Chains A and B, each alone.
Chain A
Amino acid sequence: MSEQSTAADDAETERIEAMLSDYVEGTLSLEERKEVEAHLARHPELAADVEAMREDRKKLESLNRTPAPEELGKKVEELIHRRSQGRFFGRRAFGDRVPFGVLAIVAIVMAIIIALLLRSSSTGSLRRDPDDKPRPSDEARESIPKPDRVN
């Protein structure tokens, strides 16, 4: 029984506290405000605190916004660059951004592809030089007169 009443008291306390928070912010309905004001009338010390809380809140709202340091974004990018071992946020310098390893692989692959294309092409085959004249057959070779030897 007493446990039940304690739980009910706690719930009621939380409800009043929540309403006091809204009262300080000025967001209560008229009915709720009357209820809170009746509660404060019974607890004058709390009423003084609540009034002061309103003033504190105004002061807190007027606290200077503290802007982030200028370099924050840059530092974050540098940290990500370092921790990702260069995968992200590479530097703007040309030399640092050119992936020479990738370029070398691409160049090799391209060279292989070009070689294969040339090899399979009828006009640009690597197997036969288009300037090569066909070899004369043995018969044709026989029929060619040999120049006389001059001693």
Chain B
Amino acid sequence: MSTDDRQLVRRLRDRDERAFRELVAAHRDRVYNLTFRMLGNRAEAEDVAQEVFIQVFKTIDTFREEAKLSTWLYRVTVNLTKNRIKYLARRHDRDRDQLDETNEAAATSAIAAPGGPTKRPDRALEGAQMETVLQDAINKLDEDQRLLVVLRDIEDLSIEEICAITNLPDGTVKSRLHRARLQLRKKVTPHL
């Protein structure tokens, strides 16, 4: 663990509010993106992301400093997200067949966004549609496969970090990742 991380952890343990704000500012986008890609729903993703930071604030004393602070943070994120997936599945309160409206609205606004990277409208639309197809396919993977695809192919975490987050050996992560990609391929193919 880096010296900066160590200092930040010490301040977090002292319940230093400024340190907590620094932690949130540094990791909020990644935590939220991970929860969003796992859950496929913005409102749920925001709710879980909030719970992640609250949990970190409450349980920072249990962090043993064997891994990087970010790895521990993502482990907390993964655990809470998996819990939420199970909870939602139990309540039958989720429709995985559709991306939420805000996602589509964001995709549409990305097409028309002024000042953004100059894209041809047809290409932008194609990109937005591809994003919808991919997210839809990700949502249909089982949660363990989804997790590996999101961590490796979207979040670009190293295999080593994924092993630390999932507590799986290197070979198992890679082998399951291959199966997950194969499943994703099967789910994407009909839409192409």
**B-side interface residues, number (CB < 8 Å):** 46
Contact of A111 with B by CB under 8 A: no
Q: Which residue of B lies closest to A54 (CB)?
A: B181
Known contacts A18-B175, A63-B134, A88-B15: A49-B185 contact under CB 8 Å:
yes
The 4 closest A-B pairs by CB, nearest first: A68-B32, A18-B174, A17-B175, A60-B153
Q: Are B28 and A53 in contact (CB under 8 A)?
A: no
Q: Are A52 and B134 in contact (CB under 8 A)?
A: no
In the complex, A21 Cα to B35 Cα: how many Å?
24
Contact of B171 with A by CB under 8 A: yes
In the complex, A15 Cα to B17 Cα: how many Å?
47
Q: Are B29 and A73 in contact (CB under 8 A)?
A: no
CB < 8 Å: which of B25, B37, B154 contacts A73? Answer: B25
Q: Which residue of A lies closest to B31 (CB)?
A: A68
Beyond A68-B49, A75-B50, A76-B54, list 10 extra A-B contacts (CB 8 Å): A14-B175, A56-B181, A60-B134, A60-B149, A62-B127, A67-B32, A72-B50, A80-B57, A88-B17, A88-B57
Contact residues, A27-60 vs B (CB, 8 A):
49, 52-53, 56-57, 59-60
Contact of A61 with B by CB under 8 A: yes
B106 shortest CB reach to chain A, Å: 8
CB < 8 Å: which of B46, B149, B174 contacts A17? Answer: B174
CB < 8 Å: which of B28, B32, B131, B174 contacts A21? Answer: B174
Q: Are A76 and B130 in contact (CB under 8 A)?
A: no
Q: Given the complex, which residues of B lie within 8 Å of A128, measured CB to CB?
A: none
Q: Given the complex, which residues of A lie within 8 Å of B171, measured CB to CB?
A: 14-15, 18
Q: Which residues of B contact A (CB under 8 A)?
A: 15, 17, 21, 24-25, 28-29, 31-33, 36-37, 42, 45-46, 49-50, 53-54, 57, 106-107, 110, 127, 130-131, 134-135, 149, 153-154, 156, 170-172, 174-175, 177-179, 181-182, 184-185, 188-189
Q: Which residue of B lies closest to A13 (CB)?
A: B175
CB < 8 Å: which of A21, A56, A72, A83 contacts B49? Answer: A72
Q: Given the complex, which residues of A lie within 8 Å of B57, measured CB to CB?
A: 80, 88
Known contacts A63-B131, A76-B53, A80-B57: A56-B185 contact under CB 8 Å:
yes
